[in-house]
Amino acid sequence: MRKTRLKRSLSLTVAIPLLALTMTACGGNNNDPGTTGNTTDSTNASNTGQKTDAPKPVTLSFLSAWNGGGAGFPQDQENNPVAKAVREKTGVTLKLESITTSEVEKLNTIFASDTVPDIVNAPYWSTTSGEGQVIKKAAMEGQLLDLTPYLDKYPNVKKLMTTGVAKDFAEFDMNSPDLNGKQYVIPMQTPDGTPESIHNWNYGLYARGDILKALGVNPADIDTEDKVYDLLEKIKNGNFKDISGKPVVPAGTMHNGWDYSQFLSGWSDYNISDFREEDGKLIFWTQSKDQEARLLYMRKLISNGLFDPEAFSNTDTTANEKLATGKLAVFGAQSMMGQLQNTLYKTNPEMQYELLGPMKNKSGKIVTQVEKPGRSGFPVIFLSAKIKDPDAALRLIDYVNSDEGRLLAYWGIEGTDYTMVDGKPQWIPDMKKKFDDNTDVKRDEGLNYLSGSFIGAFSSEVTWPTPEDQKTQWEKLESSFSAKMPIQIIDKVSASYLERDWPKYQNYIDKTSSLNFNDEFQKACFAKSDAEALKILHNIQDKYKAAGVEEMAEYVSQKAAERTDIGY
């Protein structure tokens, strides 16, 4: 699920609301909360190899509330090999749905219309803004199932609640006092508790290799905004074409501007909070003087025809089409290897994208992923309060997070897709070739959707490291990007949590809940003049000031001075 690092990568942005879709939930069989009824619990049997009666069949609706999150769904949702095996073990058949619009708007829609699917996977970066705030509000209003009574029954689910979760995020977000000791969300895509298990998403700027070669440019030399600008001008003047013979766009992004902040990374730093230290005092990120420089740089790119004017409005489909045709000479996001290896890299391997830099941040260090020992903010699963068979859903999640379930999710069917050699799974050569040649085959076998949406507290790379001689060329390429941008771990408590004790905090939240800094920033990018653009920027900054953001920053600064474990 490639958007899993969107909030971190857009650390100076907030979600972009779009029109959402509606959906009708479908439930399973009746059960009282906390009881099993006639449902057979097969989870322990799956770990021990003991035989039990087959669990009763249950159909549950599942929503992936991620823009483009359905890319990993198999063509045949119910009868692909993995789905059949899951149904045999747990009795559960999933009806899968995904979205291609705004996550916040979709969540608001299902809660407002009271059509919450049985199981939902959604972003949960914070409970004070965006999707997390919407989910927390729904929990407090009784629309989410309280999972607390079930956890002792499902040990693999219980483990997900703590393993790989940052201690401050667990204290202030997952276990917020507002939730009265109840737990409503299950963390997904969290590491297994070791630094090695933190996934590197390889965010950066990527340029078409054939264009770099034609220009005689070493990608490693392009590591500042000025150098990027010069490169884009050369591309614009170089008469380069996409695979259909049409002019390239010098620079762009994936859907909804994801991730234009990669073009502005020279004004970033190794931050783990919403606060910045500038001119000897603490400020909130919206008030940074760097915002003017960021804005003027983006305007320079756009006004000189160097940046895709459609980037902020691209749908997932449109963005993927541009990617697959080599339309974007340079793009900012993850490496997009999953899409490219099946499209552009097959038809035009000479156009293979190369990582620029890595870029340098304002401190002169490489721009890379910054993490705490545990993850702060992640995808979560929650269940509808109206789900008719909560045990079926939790039985499914518990099984998928067992040793046997993870093997099924990642490797498929033993004897068909893989064999065990010295206790480790290895692909059967014929299947490996099929998967390597076309990842859609792997997807349709069911080998993407469970690992992407239902597994946490785990790292496949740590548990089953691929020997170098068995890696595909694309896996080797991805690893080379990670080697250039190693994760930086900061073992501190985020200063953002200190703001919640500010006496005026709720009043501030109420005043800023309707403000969207990112929308205003993007609007300013297309203003008629720099003066008008800066006026738009200063106006949104002034609204934060009027809400008390400077007083809040001062409060956080004072509280941080009383501790030694706070990081910005």
Q: How confident is the model at residue 23 (pLDDT cuts 50, 70, 90)?
A: very low
pLDDT given at position 22: 32
Tell me the mean pLDDT in the region 439-465: 94
More confidently predicted of 439 and 75: 75
Is residue 270 over pLDDT 90? yes
Cβ 308 vs Cβ 249: under 8 Å: yes
Phi, psi of 378 (to 5 degrees): -170, 170
pLDDT given at position 195: 87
CA 135 to centroid of chain Cα atoms: 16
pLDDT given at position 37: 32
Contacts of 531 (CB under 8 A, 6+ apart): none
CA distance 409 to 113: 33
pLDDT given at position 308: 97
pLDDT given at position 467: 87
pLDDT given at position 128: 87
Q: Where are the domains of the chain?
A: 58-193+375-461, 204-371+472-486, 495-562
Tell me the mean pLDDT in the region 544-563: 97
204-371+472-486 shares the fold of 58-193+375-461? yes
Phi, psi of 431 (to 5 degrees): -70, -40
* Homologous superfamily, domain 204-371+472-486: Periplasmic binding protein-like II (3.40.190.10)
Is residue 142 over pLDDT 60? yes
Tell me the mean pLDDT in the region 355-366: 98
Token output for 411: 């490797």
Cβ 130 vs Cβ 104: under 8 Å: yes
Q: How confident is the model at residue 2 (pLDDT cuts 50, 70, 90)?
A: very low
Is residue 30 over pLDDT 60? no
Q: What is the pLDDT of residues 212-227, one digit of tens each?
A: 999 999 999 999 999 9
Is residue 46 over pLDDT 50? no
Q: How confident is the model at residue 439 (pLDDT cuts 50, 70, 90)?
A: confident
Q: What rounded mean pLDDT belongs to the chain?
A: 90
pTM of the model as a whole:
0.73
- Do strands 204-208 and 328-333 pair parallel, antiparallel, or not at all (unpaired)? antiparallel
Nearest to 369 by CA among 385, 356, 358, 381: 358
* CATH number for the segment(s) 58-193+375-461: 3.40.190.10
CA distance 524 to 105: 23
Q: What percent of the chain has pLDDT over 90?
A: 84
CA distance 12 to 280: 21
